[in-house]
Amino acid sequence: STEVASAQHSPLLAYRVAGEETEEMRRIRDDVVLILMPVMNPDGLDIVVDWTEESRGEPWAGSSPPVLYQHYTGHDNNRDWFMITQPETRAVARVLYERWYPQIVLNQHQTAPWPARIFIPPFADPVNPHIPPLAVRGVNTVGNAIGQRLSEEGKPGAISRMTFDMWWNGGMRTAPYFHNMVGILTEVAHRSVAPRYTAPDAIPDLIRGTIPAKAPSVFYPDPWPGGWFRLRDAVEYMVTAAVATLDIASELREDWLLNMWRMGSDAVAAGEAGAPFAYVIPPDQRNPMEATNLVNVLRRGGVEVHRAADAFEAGGQQYAAGSFVVLAGQAFRPHLMDLLEPQVYPDMRIYPGGPPDTPYDVSGWTLPIQMHVRADRVDRPFGLAGLEPVDRASVWPGRVSGDGAWGWVLPARSNASAVAVNRLLADGASVDIAPDGLGSAGPGAYVIRNADRARVEALAAELGVHVTGLSRDPGVPLRGMDRPRVGLYKSWDANMDEGWTRWVMDTYGFPVDTLHDAEIRGADLSRYHAIILPDQRPDGILHGHEPGTRPDALTGGIGLDGMLRLREYVETGGRIIAFDGSSDLLIEQLGLPLRNVVDGLPSDRFFVPGTLVRVTVDTTHSLGYGMPPEAAASFVRSAAYAATGPGDIEVVARYATDGLVLSGWALGEDRLAGRAALVRVPTGAGDVILFGFRPQFRAQPRGTFKLLFNALHGAAAGLHREAGSEGR
């Protein structure tokens, strides 16, 4: 929504398509079905418009709003196209993958490489191997048509083959590739509403250090010479790109339809041949709710899923009735394969022996790995009798055993257990934590009292949790837990990681208060069991916007006063939880005996851009309750810790020494091996929890959500005040 020309071009395009009586437009109307979405996030556009009007004439005119324009995700609403968690992406995915199945998807954006006026395809390498070759060819065809028309209309400055690659599956223009569709991105210059003049002598010699900016080249044949550029110019460039796309859609309409059929037919044939033939998601999952969520992620992306009515054998294994079966012989096989198989990003260099040619976004995202869901690959065909199609999956019902006269035991290993506990606490039930476990329920099991059987059975059926009744006091140590009171820091420099954290808190039932800079400095922080600092640069948290660059109330960050308040909060018994970049702030300002061992390393020696890496977890630690011994962490240019001197530091998770990279790409990953990934540092009567990675990154790594949930429930049970009680 901050790329304002997109929404402004839509009514002009609609007017031309509906009313223009040229031979070309009559042909387009005859040949093409156009679905035009003026803006995917209209309430976000309202936020941008309101901020623009409020800022008119101020020094900060033209700046981005101080809040996320999409309530949870901000600009990451364009990075939600395989998880499809938000209402906007769900609505559009239904149009794309369940109803209309367009052959071409044009996505207009607004950040061209300076000083180019518009980026158009072809894209940069690498190409994801799951993308059909005909989709790549189609992208190049449409891109060339746009470039041709821009030159014909005297609109210079179109550039290709830069920045934007064809690897990642999470963007609006990239996800269609994996659905046999031609995904087109344009990035037009000049996001500002205000006109801007660029003197010809202000044009640099090179664009991003590689392509001549003043002389023609193959992928920049018509350089922009400088001069005035206005919002209207950006709008006209977009209209030209759209009409060029409609024209080539009309001219080659039979080819687009036939090639989409070819890609789908090839996908069906490849899957029916096997290797793989199918994936099976059985009921015996550590985290049944997340297994069901995985199925629904696939369904929202148009992947066909079946459920087995009876037990069956596949790949030499027996599977129970109720197992989900995802056949690889289907039209959207590329999307299915890309989400379920590990990524292996190529090691590309800008020049031989030089720095890495890095991916546009993340390099690895395999869903079963990061959601910690068992999805068995079956390579050879097997009998398909008794398979029933699934529209939207519901979790396998849990069970309740025992009479529960004294209470109920709920193991801690499922994310759904946290949801159940949060709902029970909201209902007024009493919940304890059993640090040493209870019976077959491992360490950290929840013990529930004052909850009637009907309520427990309803939760078990809905969430897929297994609950055991207790007829008498179990006689094991228990720690009473309050309903968690969580404060989440929210900077006036709108932060998408804060928004995703808020989504996780809301979705999994954790009450959360927003703490702006003023609340950190002046509110009663002692009322919170835990305060979360999402991933953000330390300078952004501490200093925020410079005075004079925003209204006074939105400048200055938490300041030293706020930092002193956080120190007082933790030393008097509070818990601060920091993700990734914000951990550096606490290490420095609280004098923690740690350092980030990968901080400041040059990218030609260490670069992990967005990769799933293996971590080993101390499952006896209160932060590790219910976790498996190994998990997948989402490392996005993240952190790793080492002690700098004597101090009470508890390492809860370490980056693995062997087989570190699970999906994606890493350069210099040996620097992570064995380093601390998650630590607890007792501080006064409270403690600091430092996550080197983001356990909730874009709501994807469901396998590490439990580490965050444990930190919150443990704080509400007072476990964090027992400095020295945990394993080192």
pLDDT digits (tens, 9 = 90+) for 513-523: 999 999 999 99
Arithmetic mean of pLDDT over the chain: 96
Segment 373-384 shows an average pLDDT of 97
> How large is the average pLDDT for residues 570-592?
97
- Sorting pLDDT into bands at 50, 70 and 90, what band is 721? confident
Cα dihedral 514, 520, 523, 529 sign: positive
Q: With the C-alpha atoms ordered 317, 662, 689, 290, is the resulting torsion angle positive or negative?
A: negative
Residue 116: name the closest of 80, 64, 61, 164 by CA: 164
DSSP assignment of 568-615, as one string?
Answer: HHHHTT-EEEEETHHHHHHHHHTT-SEEETTTT--TTT-B-SSEEEEE
Confidence band of 439 (pLDDT split at 50, 70, 90)? confident
CB atoms closer than 10 angstroms to residue 108: 26
Q: Provide the 8-state DSSP code for 62.
A: T
Res 726 pLDDT > 70 = no
Give the per-residue pLDDT at 727: 31
CA distance 117 to 43: 28
| CA 257, chain centre distance (Å) | 32
Residues 81, 175 contacting (CB under 8 angstroms)? yes
Token pair of 151, please? 């030159």
Given strand 407-410, what is the order of strands in its sheet? 400-401, 467-470, 407-410, 445-449, 430-434, 479-481
Cα(84)–Cα(78) distance, integer angstroms:
10
Altogether, the residues listed in the chain come to a count of 728
pLDDT, residue 99, reads 97
Q: Is the pLDDT of residue 728 over 70?
A: no
Tokens of 498: 């804060």
Task: Provide the β-strand partners of residue 425.
Answer: none
User: Residue 398: pLDDT above 70?
Assistant: yes
* Mean pLDDT score, 447-468: 97
Cβ-count burial 180-199 (b if 16+ within 10 Å, e if not): bbbbbbbbbbbbbbeeeebe
Pairwise CA distance, residues 479 & 718, whole Å: 8
Q: Give residue 720's pLDDT.
A: 81
pLDDT in tens, 408-429: 999 999 999 999 999 999 999 9
What pLDDT was estimated at residue 350? 85
- What average pLDDT does this structure show over 15-41? 96
Cα-Cα-Cα-Cα dihedral sign, residues 285, 286, 289, 293: negative
HSE, side-chain direction, 13 A CA sphere, residue 246: 24
Distances (CA, A) of 417 to 323, 330, 627: 21, 35, 12
Q: Which of 45, 109, 72 has its CA nearest to residue 496?
A: 72
- Running DSSP on this structure, what letter comes out for residue 556? S
Closest C-alpha among 705, 612, 697, 583 to residue 76: 697
Return d(Cα 667, Cα 671) in angstroms, integer: 9
- Residue 722 confidence (pLDDT): 61
Q: Scanning the structure block, which residue is given the tokens 């037009």?
A: 188
**Residue ranges with strand state E in 224-277:** 227-229
Decide if pLDDT at 351 tops 60: yes
- Structure tokens of 279? 């994936």
97-113 average pLDDT score: 97
Strands 182-188 and 104-109: parallel
Q: Which of 2, 6, 85 is nearest to 39 (CA)?
A: 6
Q: Which residues pair with 182 in a beta bridge?
A: 104
616-640: average pLDDT: 97
Tell me the H-state helices in 354-473. Answer: 367-371, 415-427, 453-463
pLDDT score at 354: 83
Between β-strands 165-166 and 124-127, what pairing exists: parallel, antiparallel or unpaired? parallel
Q: Given this model, what pLDDT does residue 724 score?
A: 40
Q: Is 475 helix (H, G, I), strand (E, B) or coil?
A: coil
The CA–CA distances, whole Å, from 448 to 505, 623, 713 equal 22, 20, 14
Nearest to 211 by CA among 222, 202, 220, 203: 220
Give the whole-angstrom CA distance, residue 595 versus residue 122.
Answer: 43
- Contact yes or no for 633/701 (Cβ under 8 A): yes
How far is it, in rounded angstroms, from Cα 614 to Cα 623?
17
Q: Is the dihedral of CA 8, 66, 507, 77 positive or negative?
A: positive
HSE, side-chain direction, 13 A CA sphere, residue 468: 15
The answer to whether residues 266 and 134 touch, using CB atoms and an 8 Å cutoff, is no
CA distances 7 to 75, 231, 415, Å, are: 15, 11, 39
Q: Is residue 430 classed as helix, strand or coil in its secondary structure?
A: strand
> Does 70 or 210 have the greater pLDDT score?
70
Mean pLDDT is lowest, of 95-99, 442-446, 690-694, 720-724, for 720-724
* Residue 482, both tokens: 């309050």
Round to whole Å and give the CA distance between 84 and 91. 9
Q: Which residues pair with 196 in a beta bridge?
A: 229
